[in-house]
Chains A and B, each alone.
Chain A
Amino acid sequence: MRKNSGFIKQLKEGILDNNPVLVQLLGMCPTLATSTSVENAIGMGVAATAVLICSNIFISLLRKFIPSQVRIAAFIVIISGFVTAVELIMRAYFYSLYQALGLFIPLIVVNCIILARAEAFASRNKVLPSAIDGLAMGLGFTFALVIVATIREVLGAGTFMGMDLFGEYYSPIMILVSPPGAFLTLGLVIAIVQKIRNNIEDKKRLEKLMKVEFVDHSAKLAKKEDESV
């Protein structure tokens, strides 16, 4: 029971509270480049998630054997091994996706999210939490990619996963699928996320303030009553 709630908490942390792209602002290159269509975004997200889970498990297993001076180099070698495996699998079974993503599959090696999780989490924790962390962060990355890609594909091309949505009368906003649109869309999405976070923060602060005042007031009342007695 407790284990289960920890799992859900870790997932929520990765997807919402501590989303690697929208909150931690890591892994910008793949987010900007592969969010032209939802299909590409899902492909990229799944590939990165697979690498993230495998590398987290492996690094966590080896965490007591890797000397700390060469740990970054060791992490990069482990990660690039898994990236090569994913690349070969995609070339064999998902060739069109492999071609659409192009160089961004081998570039998963230098994706900051994976190295950051290896350094901050997998090298300090046991295997199972590390695997779950990899899954959570990978899903968070995929989630962010899909949001940006949905906005860009629906408004920029008038389609969703390749299906025509609006018929022939809709003239798509071409700029959104071109490179400048990537920067603009991601900027707006992060602005919305910041707005939501600011609102939550303000609400918390207000609640705290009100609580303090309420306590103060009741304390004063109690004092007054004491005095009158």
Chain B
Amino acid sequence: MSFGEILLMIFGAVLVENFIFARFYGCCPFLGVSEKPDTAFGMGMAVTFVITLSSAVTWLVYKLLELFHLEYLQTIAFILVIAALVQFIEMFLRKFIPSLYSALGIYLPLITTNCAVLSSALLNIQNGYNLIESICFGFAAAIGFTLAIVVFAGVRMRLATAKPPRSFKGFPLTLIAAGLLAMAFSGFTSLSF
């Protein structure tokens, strides 16, 4: 893949095939941690950090599995690697970069069970990307996630002051707002390459 193609892939992963609005990976944190823009941004940054690292590590792990013809173990291997990586990042940040830890720390334990991380690792393998492409794709997917969650947090700030009918209060209203935002994002589909 040339540089230009990688650039197109990044663009596509952020806008056209957005992880939340087009593929539904990572909806739980998207609906759960999007009440305020700054916490949403913190979550997005933590996810970006973990996905970019885990894309590289899981790609290497997959090559190792391939060596022993154990490809069918990829799901187990990936989830274990991701859990260990998240734990490791948490310890590393606490020890060496406390300022970053205080910003991202509370979101890190939630990330192990974030399906965006596992699905980007699996997509890298499914699409047959090499190491550089995997890292770029992981990073782009995570930026798409961050964009979606921060924009949605802005929408929810407005919704907090709205007075919906009683049965729409809370979760249904959030989901419908997400639906409208997804409609806006589906406008990017015509850009597909």
Cross-chain contact of B175 among A73, A109, A112, A187 (Cβ < 8 A): A187
A25 cross-chain contacts in B, Cβ below 8 A: 171
Q: Are B113 and A115 closer than 8 Å at their CB atoms?
A: yes
Known interface pairs A77-B76, A80-B75; A110-B175 also in contact (CB < 8 Å): no
A178 cross-chain contacts in B, Cβ below 8 A: 186
Known interface pairs A112-B113, A115-B113, A180-B179; A187-B75 also in contact (CB < 8 Å): no
Q: Say if the beta carbon of A209 comes within 8 Å of chain B.
A: no
Q: Are A179 and B24 closer than 8 Å at their CB atoms?
A: yes
Segment among A4-12, A160-168, A191-199 that sits at the interface with chain B: A191-199
Q: How far is the CA of A106 from the CA of B168 in the complex (A)?
A: 33
Known interface pairs A32-B27, A110-B115; A179-B21 also in contact (CB < 8 Å): yes
Q: How far is the CB of B93 from chain A (nearest CB, A)?
A: 20
Known interface pairs A73-B83, A88-B72, A106-B122; A190-B175 also in contact (CB < 8 Å): yes
Q: Which of A63-119 contact B (CB under 8 A)?
A: 72-73, 76-77, 80-81, 83-84, 87-88, 103, 106-107, 109-110, 112, 115
Q: Are A175 and B25 closer than 8 Å at their CB atoms?
A: no
Q: Are A109 and B79 closer than 8 Å at their CB atoms?
A: yes
Q: Say if the beta carbon of A28 comes within 8 Å of chain B.
A: yes
Q: How far is the CB of A206 from chain B (nearest CB, A)?
A: 16
Q: Say if the beta carbon of B178 comes within 8 Å of chain A.
A: yes
Q: Are B118 and A106 closer than 8 Å at their CB atoms?
A: yes
Q: Are B75 and A106 closer than 8 Å at their CB atoms?
A: yes
Q: Are B172 and A107 closer than 8 Å at their CB atoms?
A: no
Q: How far is the CA of A212 from the CA of B21 in the complex (A)?
A: 51
Q: How far is the CA of A9 from the CA of B103 in the complex (A)?
A: 45
B169 cross-chain contacts in A, Cβ below 8 A: 194
Q: Are A32 and B24 closer than 8 Å at their CB atoms?
A: yes
Q: Say if the beta carbon of B60 comes within 8 Å of chain A.
A: no
Q: How far is the CB of A72 from chain B (nearest CB, A)?
A: 8
Q: Among the interface residues B72, B173, B175, B180, which one has the most CB atoms of the partner chain A within 10 A? A: B175
Q: Say if the beta carbon of B147 comes within 8 Å of chain A.
A: no
B119 cross-chain contacts in A, Cβ below 8 A: 103, 107
Q: Which of A41-76 contact B (CB under 8 A)?
A: 72-73, 76
Q: Say if the beta carbon of A181 comes within 8 Å of chain B.
A: yes
Q: Which of B17-43 contact A (CB under 8 A)?
A: 21-28, 31
Known interface pairs A33-B24, A77-B76, A81-B76; A180-B115 also in contact (CB < 8 Å): no
Q: Are A29 and B183 closer than 8 Å at their CB atoms?
A: no
Known interface pairs A84-B75, A178-B186; A191-B113 also in contact (CB < 8 Å): no
* List of 9 A-B pairs having minimum Cβ-Cβ separation, nearest first: A183-B179, A187-B175, A195-B167, A191-B172, A33-B24, A180-B182, A184-B179, A187-B176, A180-B183
5 contacts between A and B (CB under 8 A): A83-B75, A103-B123, A183-B179, A187-B175, A194-B170
B interface residues (Cβ-Cβ under 8 A, vs A): 21-28, 31, 72-76, 79-80, 83, 112-115, 118-119, 122-123, 126, 166-176, 178-180, 182-183, 186
List 8 extra interface pairs beyond A80-B80, A180-B21, CB under 8 A: A28-B31, A29-B115, A32-B24, A76-B113, A84-B75, A179-B22, A179-B182, A183-B176
